[in-house]
Amino acid sequence: MEKLTRNEIDYNLTTLKGWKVEDDGIVKDFVFKDFKEALSIINAIGVVAEELNHHPEFYNVYNKLDIRLSTHDVGGVTLKDFELAHEIEEICNK
């Protein structure tokens, strides 16, 4: 997987809603109804993350879930992060 340039990242971000660049990753902060919902979303994303063998950074407290995607091997953002971001959007918009 190749590290994307800033232009490539910006282009790919246009295909997503609410995601932005932060340092060497892409991030989005979600707010759910309660802890139970946040946890069930984490679990659903976990299944996809295992399938893709690509794991998000989760920061959760109660109903809040901040997600950060980055490809640590290359120290930046790759298409793998966008693939996972799209899967996350699908899970959260169900």
State the residues that interact with its own copies by CB under 8 A: 35-36, 39, 42-43, 46, 49-50, 55-62
Residue whose CB is less far from its own copies, 42 or 74: 42
Measure the CA–CA gap between 94 and 78, rounded to whole angstroms. 25
E-state strands within 15-91: 20-22, 25-31, 57-61, 64-69
* Alpha-carbon radius of gyration of the chain: 13
CB of 42 to its own copies, least distance (A): 7
The DSSP bridge pattern shows strands 20-22 and 25-31 to be antiparallel
SS3 51: helix
Q: Return the number of the residue (8 or 44) whose C-beta is nearest its own copies.
A: 44
As measured in angstroms, the least distance from the Cβ of 10 to its own copies is 25
* C-beta of 10 vs 51, nearer to its own copies: 51
Query: What's the min distance (Å) between Cβ of 72 and its own copies?
Result: 9
